[in-house]
Structure 1
Amino acid sequence: MRTSQTFSISFFIRKKKKQPALALLYARITVNGKSLEISLKRTIPVDKWNQSASKLTGNTSESRQINKKIDETKAQLYKTYDSLLKEGLLVTTQTVKARYLGSDQQHYTLTYLINYHKEKMDKVLKYGTMKNYTTTENYLKDYLKAQHHTSDVYLKQIDYQFTLGFESYLRVLPGLQNNGVMKHMERFKKLMRLAEHLDWIEKNPTKRFKLRFDQVDMVYLNKTELEKIKNEEFEKPVLTINRDIFVFACYTGLAYADAKALNKNNLQIGVDGNKWIYTRRSKTNTAVRVPLLAEAERILKRYKTHPKIDGTEKLLPVYSNQKTNQYLKEIAKEVKIKKQLSFHTARHTFATTITLANGVPIETVSKLLGHTKLSTTQIYARVIDSKISNDIDNLREKLNDEKTEMVTDRTFYL
């Protein structure tokens, strides 16, 4: 049936009643002898129209623009016709026109995409990650209202200019530094990539946007600072509790969520007959096995009967992340350490001061931290001056030994 189908395109003009010197430009599509008109929404001078060539005469800027529009329309209509045939759909003048104008397709909006993402990812992504997405989505809605004076926008209307505009909008918000802006842009890019994968958009306008994160100095405690915190006597019991849990993390490398989730089932006897922590990283679900060092074990024993965990399976009375970080700032102030402490500082301290600085191989540290790539752990190795110093001392010693052997060998032959 399709082989006998005919399809043709022609262009014509229709004079304006009140302005006979001007005319509106139309395309006529014909399928199997039946025709339908499509307005190109262009007004042209009647005396310059060449009907036999379906072109505007002359070489003026206006003529070139109109003729270009005619060529583009013709090419797009043929493409539309071919796509309908390829998809096995009924081809009529109405279906060709509807596909060309886009009225046969469902047009998804940014709000629809946001709600779809929430629905599908709510059980997949962690609570904290979803909370971050909600913040980004709220910023997108605020941006639409402030800069575009609307509450929603079709995805096909989002272009590269919209993307750059959103970045500019974020940069003037109070409290947002460059890396914070980049995190929101990263989530926006992921949302638009989802729309692309769902075939809701033909081109992803955020694909060309490059994320530009500033390198941030890693905050960790050196041996002296860690001892200072460990030995400090605090008047407030709440500071002592949070200090102890922080120190526990310094000797286990556990992130906040993993330390908070620890229970008695996570304590196992390892291959060496000693106590180990067997758990999974909340962030990546990667298996983690950490031998329990003496300092960490002492802290667990100290809180065995604490009222907050007594009678439960929990191992430590961990406060909320916000409160914990608030208390850690207070602790840093009391012990006069001029570093911005957070719970994650403990993980950095474990990787640097506790393990790498004491000669633990980087491959082992990577396993203890639950990293899936060694390159992630190598970031810690770069910040250990003492490790570099020890490695160079070992190199010097080795080179001196080789030099001594060469002198000895030369003496023997003499």
Structure 2
Amino acid sequence: MKKKKDEIKIKEPVKIRYKELADGRKSIFLATYFNKKYHYEFLKEYLYPDIDKYKTRNENTLKRVLRVKSQRITELEKYQEHLENNTKQSKVLLRNFIRILAATKEKSTQQNFNSLAYHLERYNEIDIQIGKVDKEYIIGFISYLEKAEIEHTERNKGKKLSKNTQAMYFKCLRMALDEAVSDEIIVSNPVYSIKKKNRPTTEKAVKREFLTQEELKRFAETDFPNELVKRAFITGCLTGLRHCDIRQLKWGNIGVIKNGIEYISIIQEKTDEPVDIPLKDNIKRWLPERNGASDNDLVFDGLLSLGRTTEILPKWAKMAGINKHLTFHISRHTFAVLAIANGINIYTVSKLLGHQSIKVTEIYTDVLDSSLDNAMDKMNDNSNI
């Protein structure tokens, strides 16, 4: 049957898509059509392959996804409505625009934009029209950032925002207003009316603490009351995995065979990007005993939260005679330094660590090119852990 000439095909603004994972699950993400291209938002929701066993769970997951999809469609419609009602003094609301923009960004950037919207609300409860954002408004926001205190985490509650965090929020605001200019919502970006010397700037890079091979060996040989924390920390030193990724690691992620090589294969929580880490013997030695656990069971079941591990790890450092302030994140720094020192290509290290920019990885050192598998074999052979 032929379509009528005047029939117009309308693109669905938000579509549900699926990505097959190595363990058989399907990761669900939304494809949002915005500004003449698709943007992708991973929801950290999964469908399980055993349909009979996980029927109810999968149905509930899809219901949650449909609710999020409906919410995104409503947000887009609201945004389009604002655009249609534009005047020279734009009526598009700043925080609403930023939240819509956030949905089109990569996960880590998305979090930064949403946090910016949160701080703009703390700065001024009334959402301002973008067309009314001027130099005075931005100077006031800079002043707010200098005085703002952290509220959302118990460990850092009451502390001032770091200079790097202030600079990041200012950069996100500049990017959002640049986007508003690009969308012809406003004619110019008022951020550029502020002299550079008066804008928030980042601090000079500080030295990143890490453990040497010898120090890591001493830690491994030191008895520690919480064996699970010890195993998790050393696993982080040997893989570069974050605490959140180690905590959610399942046995189905361990020993995935690809091209005849065993890997730890996961989707990183922070970036929603897949990573495959060669599973060498020195890593296997520090994994807990499986004891008949299923593929869906956690490898480090019962591992303490990041806050609690950070509280108790310094005691372990003292027991090992290491004069360094130990946090769980130091395990990632340790992996990066030891990997680069053993010849792993810096671009590969950057990918394994989930860095958004190679510049972040370059902080560790200059390196020589080498293949990942051969270099990690060298780490495995040279390791006394």
TM bracket, shorter-chain basis: 0.5 to 0.7
Cα deviation digits, residues 51-85 of structure 1 (max 9, x gap): xxxxxxxxxxxxxxxxxxxxxxxxxxxxxxxxxxx
Alignment counterpart, residue 182 of structure 1, candidates 167, 173, 184: 167
Shift of 1:372: 7.0
Aligned to 1:171: 146
Question: Would the alpha carbon gap of residues 375 and 136 (structure 1) be closer, same or farther in structure 2, given more than 3 Å must change?
Answer: closer
Structure 1: give runs of 5+ residues left out of the alignment: 1-101, 146-150, 385-414
Aligned to 1:142: 122
Question: Would the alpha carbon gap of residues 358 and 258 (structure 1) be closer, same or farther in structure 2, given more than 3 Å must change?
Answer: same
Aligned to 1:108: 91
- Equivalent pair of 2:266/2:275 in contact (CA under 8 Å): yes
Using CA pairs under 8 Å that are at least 6 residues apart, name the structure with larger relative contact order, 1 or 2.
2
Aligned to 2:78: none
Query: Using the alignment, how far apart are the partners of 2:343 and 2:191 within structure 1?
Result: 44
Counterpart code for 1:190: M
Alignment counterpart, residue 356 of structure 1, candidates 325, 332, 340: 340
Question: Would the alpha carbon gap of residues 372 and 103 (structure 1) be closer, same or farther in structure 2, given more than 3 Å must change?
Answer: closer
Aligned to 2:65: none
Query: Using the alignment, how far apart are the partners of 1:125 and 1:131 within structure 2?
Result: 9
Cα deviation digits, residues 281-321 of structure 1 (max 9, x gap): 44444442211122321222x24249xx7783332234433
Alignment counterpart, residue 269 of structure 1, candidates 237, 251, 257: 257
Identity rate of aligned residues, in percent? 28
- Equivalent pair of 2:102/2:114 in contact (CA under 8 Å): no
The number of residue pairs the alignment matches comes to: 267
Is it true that 1:314 corresponds to 2:304 in the alignment?
Answer: no
- Equivalent pair of 2:314/2:326 in contact (CA under 8 Å): yes
- Equivalent pair of 1:365/1:377 in contact (CA under 8 Å): yes
Is it true that 1:191 corresponds to 2:181 in the alignment?
Answer: no
Shift of 1:274: 4.5
Question: Would the alpha carbon gap of residues 191 and 336 (structure 1) be closer, same or farther in structure 2, given more than 3 Å must change?
Answer: farther
Query: Using the alignment, how far apart are the partners of 1:259 and 1:142 within structure 2?
Result: 34
Shift of 1:250: 0.7
Aligned to 2:70: none
Alignment counterpart, residue 278 of structure 1, candidates 230, 245, 265: 265
Counterpart code for 2:166: V
- Equivalent pair of 2:240/2:331 in contact (CA under 8 Å): yes
Bigger-Rg structure (1/2): 1
Q: How does 1:371-386 map onto structure 2 within 5 Å?
A: 374-382=358-366
Alignment counterpart, residue 219 of structure 1, candidates 209, 212, 221: 209
Query: Using the alignment, how far apart are the partners of 2:277 and 2:168 within structure 1?
Result: 31
Cα deviation digits, residues 130-166 of structure 1 (max 9, x gap): 5554543333233337xxxxx3433222223432332
Secondary structure of 1:219's aligned partner: coil
Query: Using the alignment, how far apart are the partners of 2:91 and 2:318 within structure 1?
Result: 52
Deviates more, 1:282-291 or 1:128-137: 128-137
- Equivalent pair of 1:242/1:327 in contact (CA under 8 Å): no
Shift of 1:373: 5.9
- Give the superposed CA RMSD: 3.6
Aligned to 1:249: 236
Q: How does 1:21-170 map onto structure 2 within 5 Å?
A: 104=87, 107-108=90-91, 112-118=93-99, 121=102, 126=107, 132-144=112-124, 151-170=126-145
Aligned to 2:25: none
- Equivalent pair of 1:261/1:314 in contact (CA under 8 Å): yes
Which structure has more helix as a fraction of its residues? 1
- Equivalent pair of 2:241/2:353 in contact (CA under 8 Å): yes
Secondary structure of 1:153's aligned partner: coil
Question: Would the alpha carbon gap of residues 119 and 103 (structure 1) be closer, same or farther in structure 2, given more than 3 Å must change?
Answer: closer
Q: TM-score, normalised by structure 1?
A: 0.54
